Amino acid sequence: MQLAGQRGNLVGMGAIFTQMVEREGPRSLYLGFAPALTRSLIYGGLRLGLYEPCKHVCSYAFGSTNFAFKFASGVVAGALATALTNPMEVLKVRSQMSTSRISTIGVMREIVSEEGVKALWKGVGPAMVRAGCLTASQMATYDEAKQVLLMWTPLEEGFQLHLMSSCIAGTAGTLVTAPIDMIKTRLMLQRESKGARVYRNGFHCAYQVVLTEGVKALYKGGFATFARLGPQTAITFVACEKLRELAGMSAI
């Protein structure tokens, strides 16, 4: 959200971390934790759980599970999961930017009373695009990277293979979704009740950002996104593969 509508030098992630701890205390780093955790439980489970059935449908319908069908399966899984959990994302973003430090329920009441129930699905379009692209880039890249590593390296099914494949998937996911994530956040923080809207939709937001802040602005917070998505992707896939093994299921 730095320098919205302006060009200039951004404050780095390290400086922001220090400022937050000094001015607001360590607890400020966990603002929006409750809605973020709730969303992760539902969204994370749905997007991982729906990927395999979607891939099987493609295999049954088209007789193929090449990269394109894997990507499409990820898009469907991610988009459906985020459509159901978008209110939690809005609550998380608003809680993080709120200066009053009210509870999550208080934030929800404020949004509904001032902007209506529909405001809880604000930014759902870019959020679905972002989640679809993230799930597709992560799942398809992980799936494909595993096959390539098994074919061209001495690695076998196990922790090292899962870790390397998930690192590749995390990098791909960040590159694909960082601009969409920034646009989604701008839309979610836009308040309907406070005058005219700055951004009409996701495309208009992207156009305005490029016009007023430059192309590089689409990757604002890109390193912070990677710092979160990289480890998250690795932990998610390694844990998922281990749980599938314990449940007697085949690897992804």
Tens-place pLDDT, residues 162-182:
999 999 999 998 888 888 888
For the segment 59-87, the average pLDDT, to the nearest whole number, is 87
Total domain count, the chain: 1
Residue 94 inside a domain? The answer is yes
Residue 69 lies in a domain: yes
Read off the pLDDT of each residue in 105-128 and give the average, rounded to a whole number.
88
pLDDT band at 193 (very low <50, low <70, confident <90, very high): very low
59 located within any domain: yes
In a domain, residue 153? The reply is: no
- 192 assigned to some structural domain: no
Structural domain includes residue 88: yes
pLDDT tens, position by position, 200-251: 888 888 898 899 888 888 888 888 888 888 898 999 999 999 998 999 888 8
More confident residue, 62 or 5: 62
Name the band, by pLDDT with cuts 50, 70 and 90, for residue 5. low
pTM value surpassing 0.85: no
Domain housing 74: 19-122
pLDDT tens-digit readout, 75-102:
999 999 999 999 998 998 888 877 777 7
CA dist., res. 174 & res. 251, Å (int): 24
- Distance between CA 233 and CA 139 in Å, rounded? 10
Instruction: Please indicate, yes or no, if residue 86 is contained in any of the structural domains.
Output: yes
State mean pLDDT over 173-202: 77
Chain centroid, CA 50 distance in Å: 16
Q: Looking at the predicted structure, is the pLDDT value of residue 14 above 50?
A: yes
What DSSP string runs through the chain?
A: -TTTT--SPPPPHHHHHHHHHHHH-GGGGGTTHHHHHHHIIIIIHHHHHHHHHHHHHHHHHHS---HHHHHHHHHHHHHHHHHHHHHHHHHHHHHHH-SS---HHHHHHHHHHHH-GGGGGTTHHHHHHHHHHHHHHHHHHHHHHHHHHHHHSS--TTHHHHHHHHHHHHHHHHHHHHHHHHHHHHHHH--TTSSS-S-SSHHHHHHHHHHHH-GGGGGTTHHHHHHHHHHHHHHHHHHHHHHHHHTTPPP-
Per residue in 20-51, pLDDT (tens digit) is 899 888 988 888 888 888 888 888 888 888 88
Q: How far apart are CA 249 and CA 86, in angstroms?
A: 30
pLDDT tens digits for range 135-153: 888 888 998 899 999 999 9
In a domain, 35, yes or no: yes
